[in-house]
Amino acid sequence: MNERRPPSFTRQFSVPQLRNSVSLLIDLPSAAHINFAYYQARFSTEFPLQNEINIREGKKLISVATIEGGVRAHFEDGTFADGSILIGADGSNSNVRKYLLPDDYGLNTLPVSLIGVIRHFSPEQLAPVRALDPLLFQGLHPKTGNFLWYSIHDWFEEPDGQRSFDVQVIISWIVRNSVSDSIPKTHEERIKLMKERAKDYAEPLRSLVMDIPDDLTSTTALKLADYPPRKWNNRNGRVTLAGDSAHTMTMYRGEGANHGILDAALLVDQLKMIHRGEIDQKVAIDTYEAEMLPRTLDAVLKSREAAMVAHNWEALTKESPVVSARLPPSTA
Ligand SMILES: Cc1cc2nc3c(=O)[nH]c(=O)nc-3n(C[C@H](O)[C@H](O)[C@H](O)COP(=O)(O)OP(=O)(O)OC[C@H]3O[C@@H](n4cnc5c(N)ncnc54)[C@H](O)[C@@H]3O)c2cc1C
């Protein structure tokens, strides 16, 4: 394999029923833009960054303090950086959120667990699955409630001109029993559990899981959690949050990165106005937060509901939050 390229994008988002066949329950265009944005974000990291931006890699922020006229970020290696504003975009376990909301920064845990792998598939292995959808889909077994996520992660040009693929395969389930529904510790045990949970799937989706090599050396396990955003004291507009640090949400509506991107765009609008001297920094950051907090609270709560409904066949309808329309906010 050699050349890496972004995957092509499907216009459809389908939810197969995994029990007897893979006939489509729901087939909507509504989520196409959501996942498009997710992949765009991932691939954008491969482009060279602008030279004039002073980016320091490998710095772990451990604490924040306001200083005369600005803010200071302290890093694990003993260094610090001063600035007029600190925007915490440090993900779901944000240290900046911990600083802003010391008594209220913890994630809200949900009774959903998942195990995911990325594994390679030959063109022949993946052909029947790609015939269902060239890029991604999610599915649910109506009896067992075991949820499947499938998406192309990468593709490779083979010497014979065919494409092979790295594929993301995720199984998730509702945790009803803390022992029997727990996540095993080793990769081997996790893959075994994925196969156990997929054993009643219809083909070709059953093989998608069963063909995962037993000796794969990497799995990702998650106990799902979210963070409904809430108002914080932004220290006169000197410290704020964007992306998952402000509003961690489950992935069952595919919205987290989209909201992060919109946060960034709207925040940049405010920063430009501050830079041009058109607006006071406090007013600008208050304005950004006044739009972002209600928009993303709604998204976090809908995504939470989607995480539960995604494991319940009876509740999974065209109106349910797993598949219902993601209308762009008026600010998008
Ligand atoms: C399986 C899955 C599928 C998803 N699918 C979609 C989808 O289809 N569409 C969609 O819109 N969203 C999707 N999401 C959600 C999306 O991935 C997240 O919302 C998005 O990545 C959040 O971006 P972020 O930059 O805010 O946080 P992150 O991507 O978590 O980035 C935070 C960064 O901060 C760094 N960091 C953390 N702590 C520190 C520290 N103390 N000091 C310095 N740096 C630190 C981390 O290393 C990381 O680089 C999915 C998520 C998952 C798990």
- The confidence band for 26, taking pLDDT boundaries of 50, 70 and 90, is very low
Query: Which pLDDT score is estimated for 292?
Result: 97
SS3 readout for 252-306:
CCCCHHHHHHHHHHHHHHHHHHHHCCCCCHHHHHHHHHHHHHHHHHHHHHHHHHH
State pLDDT tens for residues 214-256.
Answer: 999 999 999 999 999 999 999 999 999 999 999 999 999 989 9
Average pLDDT value for residue range 57-74:
95
Query: Which pLDDT score is estimated for 274?
Result: 96
Least confident of 1-10, 59-68, 104-113, 118-127: 1-10
Is the CB of residue 155 less than 8 Å from the CB of residue 164?
Answer: yes
Closest residue by Cα to atom 51, ligand 1, is 251
pLDDT reading at 110 higher than 80: yes
3-state secondary structure of 230: coil
Cβ of 37 closer than 6 Å to ligand 1, yes or no, is yes
- The confidence band for 18, taking pLDDT boundaries of 50, 70 and 90, is low
d(CA 105, ligand 1 centre) in Å: 17
d(CA 219, CA 227): 24
Domains of the chain (ranges; CATH) run 4-30+109-224 (3.30.9), 58-107+230-300 (3.50.50.60)
State pLDDT tens for residues 2-16.
Answer: 333 333 333 344 455
Query: Which pLDDT score is estimated for 220?
Result: 97
State pLDDT tens for residues 154-177.
Answer: 999 999 999 999 999 999 999 999
Cβ of 88 closer than 6 Å to ligand 1, yes or no, is no
Query: Which pLDDT score is estimated for 33?
Result: 33
d(CA 88, ligand 1 centre) in Å: 12
pLDDT reading at 199 higher than 80: yes
Structural tokens at position 325:
């329309």
Cβ of 172 closer than 6 Å to ligand 1, yes or no, is no
Closest residue by Cα to atom 31, ligand 1, is 91
Query: Which pLDDT score is estimated for 317?
Result: 87
Which segments of 40-130 are extended strands (E)?
A: 61-67, 70-75, 80-83, 86-88, 108-121
Query: Which pLDDT score is estimated for 99?
Result: 98
Query: Which pLDDT score is estimated for 50?
Result: 54
- The confidence band for 21, taking pLDDT boundaries of 50, 70 and 90, is very low
Cis, bond preceding 204 (omega within 30 deg of 0): yes
Average pLDDT value for residue range 93-115:
98
Question: Which ligand 1 atom sits closest to the C-alpha of 242?
Answer: 26
d(CA 285, CA 274): 10
Which segments of 158-260 are extended strands (E)?
A: 163-174, 220-226, 239-241
- The confidence band for 322, taking pLDDT boundaries of 50, 70 and 90, is confident
pTM of the model: 0.86
Question: Which ligand 1 atom sits closest to the C-alpha of 61?
Answer: 42
Give Cα 260 to chain centroid, integer Å: 10
d(CA 51, CA 68): 29
- The confidence band for 323, taking pLDDT boundaries of 50, 70 and 90, is confident
Please state, as a whole number, how many other Cβ atoms lie within 10 Å of the Cβ of residue 151.
Answer: 20
**Mean pLDDT score of the chain:** 86
The DSSP 8-state label assigned to residue 45 in this structure reads: T
Cβ of 31 closer than 6 Å to ligand 1, yes or no, is no
Give the dihedral sign, CA 138/204/27/38.
Answer: positive
| Residue 23 exposure: Cα atoms within 13 Å on the Cβ side | 5
d(CA 125, CA 164): 9
Query: Which pLDDT score is estimated for 49?
Result: 54
State pLDDT tens for residues 258-309.
Answer: 999 999 999 999 999 999 999 999 999 999 999 999 999 999 999 999 999 9
d(CA 150, ligand 1 centre) in Å: 19
